[in-house]
Homo-oligomer: A and B are copies of this chain.
Amino acid sequence: MGDVLAFPSNRPADEPDDVDVPLPKLRDVIGDVLRTERLDQQRTLAEVAGEAAVSLPYLSEVERGRKEVSSDLLESICDALELPLADVLQRAAERLRVDAGTQRGSSFQLRAA
C-alpha cells in the first residue's frame, strides 16, 4: 500500500519522486486569499497598503506567499479589506482542501483499482 500511495494521483507512476508537488503552505494560501479579495474589491496594492499602513512591496510579497505575514500586520490588512480574520482562515482552509483533492485524486483511483 505504501508504494501505491507514494505516487500522487496526477503524475505517472514512473516519474521520479523529486517532482512531487508540495502542498501550499500557510503563507501561500493566506496571500492568495488576500490577493483574491483585494482584486474582487477592485482595489490597488497602493490603496490597501496605505489603509493598512504597510508598505506596498511588503503587501505584494505577502500576497505572493514570498513573505510571512505577522499576526499584527495581517490584522491591519484584514481591517483595510474589511475582511474578518475568521473569513480569511475559512477561505484558506477551503482552498487547501481543493488543492489536496486535486493532488490526491488519482491516488485514490489507483487504490480502488
Contact = CB atoms under 8 A, between A and B. Distances in A.
Interface stretch (A13-21, A53-61, A81-89): A81-89
20 contacts: A23-B85, A25-B72, A25-B85, A26-B71, A26-B74, A26-B85, A27-B71, A28-B71, A29-B85, A68-B68, A68-B71, A84-B100, A85-B96, A86-B96, A86-B100, A89-B89, A89-B93, A90-B90, A90-B93, A93-B93
User: Which DSSP category, helix, strand, loop or mixed, fits chain A's interface?
Assistant: helix
Contacts of A109: none
Contact of A89 (B23, B28, B96): B96
Interface of A: 23, 25-29, 68, 70-72, 74-75, 84-87, 89-90, 92-94, 96-97, 100
